[in-house]
Amino acid sequence: MLNFVLAESSLELVPKEIWRHPAVVSDARRREAEPGEILLDRSFHHAAMTRLKDSEKRGRPDLVHVTLLSVTGTPLYLDGKVKAYVHLSSGSVVEIAEKTRIPKSYLRFRGLMEKCLVERPASGLLAVRELSFAELIKGVRPGRTIGLSVRGKQVGLAELGREISSVKDPCVVVGGFPHGHFSPEVEERLDEVARIDQRPLEAHVVAARVVYEAEKAASG
């Protein structure tokens, strides 16, 4: 089983400290919801986000959506051989049950994630667990944990695919954020950090390529 972790994902409910900001109040009113029940989204809450810590890494649930679609659309995932986790910096993890399909419509995805983060189900297709990144990795017990980053050691994709398929229950970690790098909390749990291109790429491109290489190496 390939474990795919989207780490420090840009996915969260609007944090309490900006509930009263006019940008948040008007968006919540428009959606007929409470500020604490909607996803933080830079497209709507940019003005309110300047006062948030690590603001550049936050408020891009669309990026998480696209990356999950890239992973869950692969043949390896459809065969039940990829387990996907969405790690959130707040100290929780959304665990996606095997073969679960993610809504292709962003609006449906947003609604699903808002419900999930408000209700925090302990089981089901999407389960929310109170886990730090370290606790997640400890529970998954991967044979090797490979982080992907433009700051890593350059590797060929085919070589990376072979390495992934040569260990038991490997774990690949891609950053679920738009800017910045892995925090020390994540970095210290990685056995290695690999770079697949000299340029910074979008998380969904990296995710799709890595899963495809793992798939090829496993079938070849």
Ligand X SMILES: C[S@@+](CC[C@H](N)C(=O)[O-])C[C@H]1O[C@@H](n2cnc3c(N)ncnc32)[C@H](O)[C@@H]1O
Positions in the binding site for ligand X (CB under 6 A): 148-150, 174-175, 177-179, 181, 195-197, 199-203, 206
CA dist., res. 44 & res. 114, Å (int): 16
Query: 27 vs 41, which CB is nearer to ligand X?
Result: 41
Residue 52, C-beta contacts closer than 8 angstroms, at least 6 positions apart? 15, 17, 18, 58
Query: 114 vs 187, which CB is nearer to ligand X?
Result: 187
CB of 134 to ligand X, least distance (A): 18
Longest dimension (CA), the chain: 56
CB of 182 to ligand X, least distance (A): 6
CB of 185 to ligand X, least distance (A): 14
Q: How deeply is 58 buried, as exposed, middle or buried, from its count of CB atoms within 10 A (0-12, 13-18, 19+)?
A: buried
Q: Edge to edge, what strands does the sheet with 2-9 contain?
A: 126-129, 92-96, 82-88, 2-9, 171-175, 145-154, 192-195
Query: 138 vs 151, which CB is nearer to ligand X?
Result: 151
Tokens of 56: 């550049």
Query: 81 vs 181, which CB is nearer to ligand X?
Result: 181
CB of 135 to ligand X, least distance (A): 20
Residue number of the CB closest to ligand X reads 175
